Amino acid sequence: MRNFRDMWSRQPTKRLGSEFRERQQLAELSFSPPPILSSQSSSCRTLRRTQGDRFIPNRSAMDLDVAHFNLLREAKENVDANLTEKYRKKLAENLFHDVEVLQTPKILAFHKKPPVPSPGAAAEHPLTESFASPPSRIRKIPQSPDRVLDAPELLDDYYLNLLDWSCKNVVAVALGTTVYLWHAETGAIEQLMSTRHEDDYISSISWAQDGRHIALGLNSREVQLWDTSRICQVRKMVGHSGRVSSLAWNQTILSSGGRDSHIINHDVRVRDHVTSHLIGHCQEVCGLKWSPSGHQLASGGNDNLLHIWDAAASASSAVHLHRLENHQAAVKALAWCPFQANLLASGGGTADRCIKFWNTQSGACINSIDTYSQVCALQWNRHQKELLSSHGFSRNQLILWKYPSMSKLAELTGHTARVLHLAQNPDGTTVVSAAADETLRFWKVFGAAPSPRKAMISEAGDLSLRSINIR
């Protein structure tokens, strides 16, 4: 193998100098073609210069002067001599019908601002508003209540349900032995009833779906049905052996849960009102909610159990559909999802502190989040995928969660004692909270409902996303 240094030292220096002068003279000529070498001499010269190891660069095989000459020649040849000013104008006339187009450095001048529209342009072009930049989707959540009402003698009992909001925009609250009605539109307050005995008290209330009748559970183990339009009692129903701490409506069926651990279904239309007994809990039933479809009933008790009952089977048998034992404390807070069927949220007491999400069709726990405080009540947002929870010790706050990520959107403080009850107004924008500090606070936490057009767009977007996910 030849050495690189030996190969370089063998090249005659005089010959290199003479060849450089020849190349320089050729470059000064007006791009006259270089002399054509004969095939014999060129082949001999190529053979002489390309000898050497193929893997080691051989500088003798590189003609630097010829390469420099060709580079200068290409640079000059790329200049189009025919592109004169007259040619540019002729090109502009044929292509753009404007002679001044090619005289500008850029066809699109981004540095110039667009013209400002006239004040009447929006009226002439109504579609302009629809293509404007959309508003920010991040809504402002008020950190303070919109209204505060005093609620003296509100019982500080975790197992009771003493607050509800009707579809006719009337808030009912039980204060000790008396039930009051607060009309949200007018602000008027009226007393519905009071118990006959001083040692008796209201332990649960629930509006019927017609917004006119209301059911009251008492410590004296009876259930009363009242007509609020006439301020009179319609009927009284018995069957429990302990106080009635929870109530839930499903059309004309009223379900009641008591300290006797029983759940009784009443048909308020007939004389023999008891249609079935649901036996599954061993302690007080403090949470009771029917699903929006009316097909399932969820019940939570002080025995840390959550039961799912089938409406079709409950009339003939008292066997629960699912028995869920994941909570480590009393289960009072229950809320059915308004936008997804068979999705239930439940909250546990002080020893549990968790919000759990259930698929009530299969009985599987979908998710569980530790809130680090007692969960007293839950309310779903009807317009967006959000959940509001109220808590006890130590901060006595309300937390707005984004579902399903369960990231905190806001924490609402103001109550000085545990927030025992939550209720939502008919349009789903405002939530009222009742706490052991004997106050009612109204929070505009959910915002206004979307317009029909935005709802259609959102629904179409959801359908398109669902169609993409085919597996």
Residue 341: what pLDDT?
Answer: 94
Structure tokens, 49: 């210069």
Do 360 and 219 sit in the same domain of this protein? yes
Do 27 and 170 sit in the same domain of this protein? no
* Position 54 in a domain: yes
- From 77, 110, 129, give the residue that closes a domain: 77
Domain CATH code at residue 163: 2.130.10.10
* Position 259 in a domain: yes
Do 54 and 155 sit in the same domain of this protein? no
Do 303 and 166 sit in the same domain of this protein? yes
Do 69 and 166 sit in the same domain of this protein? no
- From 17, 51, 77, give the residue that closes a domain: 77
Do 277 and 413 sit in the same domain of this protein? yes
Residue 139: what pLDDT?
Answer: 83
Domains: count for the chain: 2
Do 61 and 198 sit in the same domain of this protein? no
Instruction: Give the domain range for residue 25.
Output: 4-77
* Position 438 in a domain: yes
* Position 171 in a domain: yes
Do 59 and 203 sit in the same domain of this protein? no
* Position 400 in a domain: yes
Do 326 and 440 sit in the same domain of this protein? yes
pLDDT by position in tens, the chain (length 471): 444 444 444 444 444 455 556 666 655 554 445 444 444 444 444 444 445 555 555 666 666 776 666 666 554 444 454 555 666 677 667 776 555 555 555 444 445 555 666 655 555 544 444 444 455 567 889 999 999 999 999 999 999 999 999 999 999 999 999 999 999 999 999 999 999 998 999 999 999 999 999 999 999 999 999 999 999 999 999 999 999 999 999 999 999 999 999 999 999 999 999 999 999 999 999 999 999 999 999 999 999 999 999 988 765 557 899 999 999 999 999 999 999 999 999 999 999 999 999 999 999 999 999 999 999 999 999 999 999 999 998 899 999 999 999 999 999 999 999 999 999 999 999 999 999 999 999 999 998 877 666 555 555 545 443 333 333
Do 72 and 158 sit in the same domain of this protein? no
Residue 282: what pLDDT?
Answer: 96
* Position 132 in a domain: no
Do 48 and 188 sit in the same domain of this protein? no
- From 54, 77, 100, give the residue that closes a domain: 77
Do 228 and 375 sit in the same domain of this protein? yes
Does the CA dihedral 214-216-222-227 come out positive or negative? negative
* Position 221 in a domain: yes
Residue 322 to residue 407: CA distance in whole angstroms: 29
Which residue type sits at 72?
L
* Position 416 in a domain: yes
